[in-house]
């Protein structure tokens, strides 16, 4: 194993030869959902998704820094060129990092800090690779990477009595079934049209931003803002922590449709207090409660399940269990990681 050289003051900075713009696993000609053109830009965007959870952000950043330093120093490869074979080597490395990676004489902070205290336990290795698998899934879903090398990883059971993990997410087929089912809702009366438009917008908002029910309930139109020609959503999460969520142009188009239906300008205005999700009648002053957001989503899932029952009873059963929290798991798919 090559000896580690001094880590940059900010490990999330790489020379152009290793920045991944020509990575062998880059998606070419794909439908890109992010503007990032280098691995660091893409990683920073993924980390921004967790800005509202400082503990999670710190843990995730640590794992991606470890991988980036190892890949660039040891293999001379960017993140977007790593293969399944490279990750097998990395898993072996996590189990037995060389002494210079865990030198107790190095400080815990700063550019020359140590990245390990010693070998990682099996549980810690599994957690580290699970975090990295989530990163790679995100980059594949965003159209940045062509594939996820860790999706090929075999998950070993830790004991004969270990129960199968319950999966709480909607795969792409079920998600499409939800979208298709909503489009069949009746729109014969004004009330039915109002309910249809709100449900159509809400389920897309939850799915594409991974907001909690409380965050969606409290979101205002003015929380959507542009920076460098990209749309973002300012979110206040648990404990009052603030973060920013990237918003795709397609979702902004859905928002424009919803607002136009209620006679509002297509694009939100700065500091606009109109709720992002309004009452059925379009009350622009009253926010829905988190419980109301939850119940609307449950209704959408239930009605879709009723539609699926004759042809896909298993899918229908999954949707009957689904809740708003499941839509926060659409990128990280447990069965693949």
Convert the pLDDT of each residue in 15-36 to its tens digit.
777 888 889 999 887 678 888 8
Residue 119 and residue 258 share a domain = no
What is the enclosing helix (H) or strand (E) of 231? strand 230-236
Q: pLDDT value at position 296? A: 94
User: Is the domain of 133 the same as that of 192?
Assistant: no
Nearest to 216 by CA among 205, 225, 204, 226: 205
- How many CB atoms lie under 10 A from the CB of residue 157? 9
Q: How far apart are CA 215 and CA 52, in angstroms?
A: 11
313/201 same-domain check: yes
In order of 270, 295, 306, 319, 330, the CA distances from 315 in angstroms are: 41, 20, 10, 6, 16
CB-based contact 61:48 (threshold 8 Å): no
User: Do residues 184 and 331 share a domain?
Assistant: yes
pLDDT score at 156: 46
**Can you give the pLDDT at residue 188?**
95
Say if residue 67 is in the same domain as residue 184.
no
**Mean pLDDT per 10-residue segment, the chain (337 residues):** 40 72 84 86 89 80 89 90 93 86 54 67 87 90 88 54 51 85 95 96 90 91 90 81 84 96 94 92 84 93 93 90 74 38
* 199 shares its domain with 105: no
Residues 40 and 119 in one domain: yes
pLDDT score at 121: 87
Whether 123 and 249 share a structural domain: no
Looking at the 3D structure of the chain, how many domains does it have?
Answer: 2
Q: Record the tokens describing residue 75, joined without a space.
A: 């293999």
Domain residue limits at 64? 16-152
């Amino acid at each position: 194993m090559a000896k580690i050289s001094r880590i940059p003051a900010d490990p999330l900075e790489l020379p152009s030869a290793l920045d991944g713009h020509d990575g062998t696993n880059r998606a070419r000609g794909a439908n890109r959902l992010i503007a990032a053109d280098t691995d660091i830009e893409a990683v920073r965007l993924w980390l921004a998704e967790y800005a509202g959870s400082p503990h999670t952000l710190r843990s995730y950043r640590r794992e991606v820094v470890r991988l980036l330093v190892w890949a660039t120093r040891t293999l001379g490869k960017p993140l977007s060129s790593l293969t399944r074979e490279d990750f097998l080597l990395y898993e072996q490395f996590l189990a037995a990092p060389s002494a210079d990676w865990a030198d107790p004489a190095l400080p815990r902070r700063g550019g020359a800090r140590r990245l390990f205290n010693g070998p990682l336990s099996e549980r810690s290795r599994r957690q580290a690779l699970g975090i990295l698998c989530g990163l790679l899934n995100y980059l594949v879903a965003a159209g940045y990477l062509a594939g996820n090398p860790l999706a090929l990883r075999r998950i070993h059971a830790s004991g004969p009595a270990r129960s199968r993990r319950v999966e709480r997410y909607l795969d792409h087929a079920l998600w499409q079934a939800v979208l298709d089912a909503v489009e069949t809702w009746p729109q014969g009366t004004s009330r039915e049209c109002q309910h249809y438009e709100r449900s159509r917008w809400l389920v897309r908002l939850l799915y594409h931003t991974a907001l909690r029910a409380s965050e969606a309930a409290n979101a205002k139109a003015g929380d959507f803002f542009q920076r460098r020609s990209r749309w973002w959503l300012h979110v206040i999460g648990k404990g009052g922590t603030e973060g920013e969520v990237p918003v795709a142009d397609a979702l902004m188009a859905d928002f424009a449709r919803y607002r136009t239906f209620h006679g509002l300008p297509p694009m939100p205005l700065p500091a606009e207090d109109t709720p992002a999700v309004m009452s059925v009648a379009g009350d622009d002053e009253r926010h829905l409660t988190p419980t109301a957001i939850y119940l609307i989503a449950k209704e959408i899932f239930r009605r879709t399940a009723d539609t699926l029952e004759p042809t896909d009873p298993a899918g229908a059963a999954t949707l009957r269990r689904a809740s708003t929290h499941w839509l926060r798991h659409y990128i990280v798919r447990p069965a693949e990681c």
